[in-house]
Amino acid sequence: MLQKALLRPASSGYTTLPPQNQQQHAAEHAQTTPHSFTGVLVALKNGHYALVKGHGPKGRPMGHMLDHTRNAKKYAEKVVKVTGKLNMSNNTVHVTSIKRT
């Protein structure tokens, strides 16, 4: 199983603003607008869940932590689509729905 320390943030994909404003705008936009994220839902040792979207150059998992684990258990180790608001300050998705893809 993955540990939270091994999970790396996935790329946000925002590239339209000048560099000095890009990070601030991305954080504000991600925290107020629901987005969909697809990946494998993984149970962590601490009882939380993470959405793994891929692996980085050194083979470490990349993705997001999930704040809502009530319904996550039945989707563990499955490819899912998670909808929610991304809090970029702690790389956590505030989940509104989870669906199997």
pLDDT surpassing 50 at residue 95: yes
Q: Could you tell me if 98 and 75 are in contact, meaning their C-beta atoms sit under 8 angstroms apart?
A: yes
CATH level 2 (architecture), domain 4-9+34-100: Beta Barrel (2.40)
- How many Å apart are CA 72 and CA 14, to the nearest integer? 28
Distances (CA, A) of 1 to 7, 28, 35, 44: 11, 32, 26, 6
Cα torsion through 46, 50, 54, 60, rounded to 10: -20
* pLDDT of 5: 46
* pLDDT of 23: 59
| Residue, of 94 and 12, whose pLDDT is higher | 94
| Residue, of 51 and 32, whose pLDDT is higher | 51
Enumerate the domain spans of the chain: 4-9+34-100
This prediction's pTM: 0.68
- How many Å apart are CA 61 and CA 52, to the nearest integer? 6
